[in-house]
Structure 1
Amino acid sequence: MSRNNGIDRRQMLKLAGFSAAGLGLTAAGCGSGGSGSGGPVTIRHSWWGADDRAKKIQQCVTLFEKKHPKIKVKTDFQQYPDFWKKFNTQAAGGNPPDVIQNAVTFLRKYEAKNVLLDLSPQVEKGNLSLDGFRAGLEKFADIDGKLLGVPVGSNSMALVIDQAVYEKAGITPETGWTWDEWYAGMEKIRDGQKVAGDVGPHGVMYLYDLILRQNGKAFFTEDGMGFGEAELLPYWTEALARVKSGIYADPKKVEQIKPASALARGMASGEFTWDNFSIRYSAEGKSRYGLAPIPSTDGKRTGQYLGSLMLSGSARTKHPAEVATFIGFMTHEPEVARIMGYDRGVPATTAQFEAYRPTDAPSKAIEAYETAIAEAGVLEPITPHPAGADVIEAAFLRIAGDLSLGKASPKDSVKQFFSEAKTALGSN
């Protein structure tokens, strides 16, 4: 749930899996060691992202090593899909990095395979603090009593809009607006300016989760799916009709310009995505882009929560105390926030949030948006993600895309999705 650095999300989600047997990991005997001699130790930190993120993290590492001269940090990064492929290979070979960048869709998957370090003992020993986190984020990676990660930033779903188009149409999205009002606005934009109202949101799992939550359900439960064919069929049937009517952008043209954004290219006036992804539109496009509130069913409950990138430790690490010290530094040190900015989302701790006050318009908009939804009281606990959630998200995106392109009917698409979801859940 972080900036995708221009990578096509469909491409991002083609992840390689691995079996628990291939890892050969057990809970006993993993991650119990320390530096032993008390001398300098080296830990490895890996993450996904582009060169800009790598430069910033390296600056943070240099600062950390100055303040902790007995801990050296080797760094490594790849693009999103390559990161997980390499990590899976390293973990299967018994040599994973000591600290990895992580996301909620992978927590239960890797917890079930005994890949992730439980950081709770390090909190108890005073090597890691959970004080000062915003909006309860310290519980974000608390799975079945184990602390499997610590947030470094937060984000939430938002509607990114082309402000020039919305202003010309006389549409001002406000907190409490409904889906009917949103749709009426898209019709007005299409009819008046010959621009699609939205890129096409029906493949965005996290948006559909909010829609389900607004109606008393959720995409996932702790054990599996929180909805069925009866909910998804009308949603995808309606989406296909909107594609055909021009309310949603032409999917063939959207595919042709990837990884560029259809919103930034002027092919649509809005797109639902994570708020901190919005920085890319200003970099890619020529218009002005803003963050609009999530519409709701009743004008009140949006179903929103804060998502987060996090840092997790490896259960194989020989240096759990040093891992915890590094994670604590990256989440609490004010200078880290001044270096990273909003690259990984809005800083998760109050100390870092207050240390970095953005000066550029896109980041200011993100700060204002997250402050507004917090003050509005719409934030709820995040939906649990079972093992296999990453595979299910990829299937949801891919099948919705094929539906848009006319490769399958809504009914067949729904059946295919639940078939693949069942397989994903059963293989974990």
Structure 2
Amino acid sequence: MSRNNGIDRRQMLKLAGLSAAGLGLTAAGCGSGSSGSGGTVTIRHSWWGADDRAKKVQQCVTLFEKKHPKIKVKTDFQQYADFWKKFNTQAAGGNPPDVIQNAVTFLRKYEAKNVLLDLKPQAEKGNLDLTGFRAGLEKFAEIDGRLFGVPVGSNSMALVIDEKVYEKAGVAPGAGWTWDDWYAGMQKIKNGQGIAGDAGPHGVMYLYDLMLRQNGKAFFTEDGMGFGEAELLPYWTEALARVKSGVYADPKKVEQIKPASATAKGLSAGEFTWDNFSVRYSAEGKSSYGLAPIPTTDGKRTGQYLGSLMLSGSARTKHPAEVATFISFMTHDPEVARIMGYDRGVPATTAQFEAYEPADAPNKAIGAYETAIADAGVLEPITPHPAGADVIEAAFLRIGTDLSLGKSSPEESVKQFFSEAKTALASN
């Protein structure tokens, strides 16, 4: 749920269904040791991302080692898909990294297999600071009273718009606007400028989750799906009609330009994505781009929450105190914020948020957007994601795309999705 250095989420999800089979690790006797000898301890930290993130993380590690000379941190990074392949292999072999970058779609999957370290005891011992987090993010990775991760940054869903197109059309999105307002605006844009209103949001699981939340439901419950065929069928039926009418962009053209975004390449006037992904648009496109509020059902509730990348510890680490010390440093030290910027989202703690003031317009807009939605009081707790959520997210995107390409009918698509979701939940 955070920026992946230009990697489109659709690419990321191609291998999101990586199996965690064979990762049933036993936590007994693990995660209870420390150095105890007074000598130097080495822990391993692994994450996904491109070279620019790697350079920033390495700078933070160097700073950490200067402040904690008895703790050395060995680093390793890969692209998103390669990271999870390697992590699966390491965890299955009983030798995972001590600290990993993690995301909510994988949290319960690996917690259920005893791969992750409960960080609560380390907080109670004073090795991990859980104070000063924005908007309750310190509880983001809490499951049944245990803590399996600590957020390093935050993001929330937003509508990225081509400001010039919207301005020319006279469409001015504002807080509390409705889905009817949004659709009317898209029609006005299409009829007046011949540009599709949206890239096609019907495969974005997290957007559909907000729509469900606005109506008292959610995409997931703690152990399964929070909606059924009766909700999804009209949504995908309507989406296909909008593709055919040109209100949503031509899906074939959208696929052809990937990994570039449809809005940046002028195929649509807007698209829904995570707010901190929006930095890519000014680099890819030639217009000016902004963040618009999420449309609502009732003019009030957006269903939004703050998502986050997080740092998790391994249940097999021999150095839980040092792991907690490192995680605490990465989430609280002001200099870390100045090094990382918004690379992994808006800093999760107030100290780091205040320590870094972005100079560029896209990042300024992201910070302002998250401040605005927090001040508006629209943020809610995130719904827990069950084990298998990563596979389900990938299926939702793939099947939604196939639907728009005419490969299956709405009825067939809905049945296929729920069949795959049932299998994913049963196999985790």
With structure 2 as the length reference, what TM-score do the two structures score?
0.99
Q: In the TM superposition, what is the alpha-carbon distance from 1:8 to its structure 2 partner?
A: 2.9
- Residue 63 of structure 1 corresponds to 63
- Residue 260 of structure 2 corresponds to 260
Cα-Cα RMSD: 0.9
- Residue 93 of structure 2 corresponds to 93
> Secondary structure of 2:173's match?
coil
- Structure 2 residue identity aligned to 1:114: N
Q: Is the 8 A contact 1:16 1:88 kept in 2?
A: no
Q: In the TM superposition, what is the alpha-carbon distance from 1:359 to its structure 2 partner?
A: 1.2
Distance in 1, matches of 2:155 and 2:245, equals: 32
Distance in 2, matches of 1:368 and 1:262, equals: 24
- Residue 340 of structure 1 corresponds to 340
> Secondary structure of 1:75's match?
strand
Q: In the TM superposition, what is the alpha-carbon distance from 1:38 to its structure 2 partner?
A: 1.9
- Residue 276 of structure 1 corresponds to 276
Distance in 1, matches of 2:44 and 2:307, equals: 25
Q: Is the 8 A contact 1:116 1:312 kept in 2?
A: yes
- Residue 77 of structure 1 corresponds to 77
Q: Is the 8 A contact 1:16 1:85 kept in 2?
A: no
Q: Deviations over 1:89-117 (max 9, x none)?
A: 11111111110000111111000000000
Distance in 2, matches of 1:361 and 1:185, equals: 25
Q: Is the 8 A contact 2:337 2:347 kept in 1?
A: yes
- Residue 47 of structure 1 corresponds to 47
- Residue 35 of structure 2 corresponds to 35
Q: Is the 8 A contact 1:210 1:304 kept in 2?
A: yes
Q: Is the 8 A contact 2:243 2:249 kept in 1?
A: yes
Distance in 2, matches of 1:420 and 1:38, equals: 52
Percentage identity across paired residues of the two chains: 88
Distance in 1, matches of 2:76 and 2:53, equals: 11
- Residue 232 of structure 2 corresponds to 232
Task: Indicate whether 1:242 and 2:242 are aligned.
Answer: yes
Q: Is the 8 A contact 1:15 1:85 kept in 2?
A: no
Distance in 2, matches of 1:374 and 1:19, equals: 36
- Structure 1 pair 16–403 and aligned structure 2 pair: CA distance change class (3 A): closer
Q: Deviations over 1:49-79 (max 9, x none)?
A: 1111111111101100100011111111111
Q: Deviations over 1:336-384 (max 9, x none)?
A: 0001111111100010011001111001100110011011110001011
- Residue 422 of structure 2 corresponds to 422
Q: Deviations over 1:97-153 (max 9, x none)?
A: 110000111111000000000001100110001000000000000111110000000
- Residue 6 of structure 2 corresponds to 6
Distance in 1, matches of 2:297 and 2:339, equals: 40
- Structure 2 residue identity aligned to 1:195: I
- Residue 396 of structure 2 corresponds to 396
Distance in 2, matches of 1:360 and 1:252, equals: 33
Q: How does 1:17-28 map to 2 (within 5 A)?
A: 17-19=18-20, 22-28=22-28
> Secondary structure of 2:335's match?
helix
Task: Indicate whether 1:369 and 2:369 are aligned.
Answer: yes
Q: How does 1:20-419 map to 2 (within 5 A)?
A: 22-419=22-419
> Secondary structure of 1:379's match?
coil
Distance in 2, matches of 1:259 and 1:5, equals: 12
Distance in 2, matches of 1:120 and 1:183, equals: 46
- Structure 2 residue identity aligned to 1:303: G
- Structure 2 residue identity aligned to 1:237: T
With structure 1 as the length reference, what TM-score do the two structures score?
0.99
Q: Deviations over 1:151-208 (max 9, x none)?
A: 0001100000000100111111100100000000000111111111000000000000
> Secondary structure of 2:377's match?
coil
Q: Is the 8 A contact 1:48 1:80 kept in 2?
A: yes
Q: Deviations over 1:264-314 (max 9, x none)?
A: 111111010000000011111111000000000010000000001100000
Q: In the TM superposition, what is the alpha-carbon distance from 1:11 to its structure 2 partner?
A: 2.2
Q: Is the 8 A contact 1:18 1:92 kept in 2?
A: no
- Residue 15 of structure 1 corresponds to 16
Distance in 2, matches of 1:319 and 1:40, equals: 11
- Structure 2 residue identity aligned to 1:389: A
Distance in 1, matches of 2:350 and 2:214, equals: 29
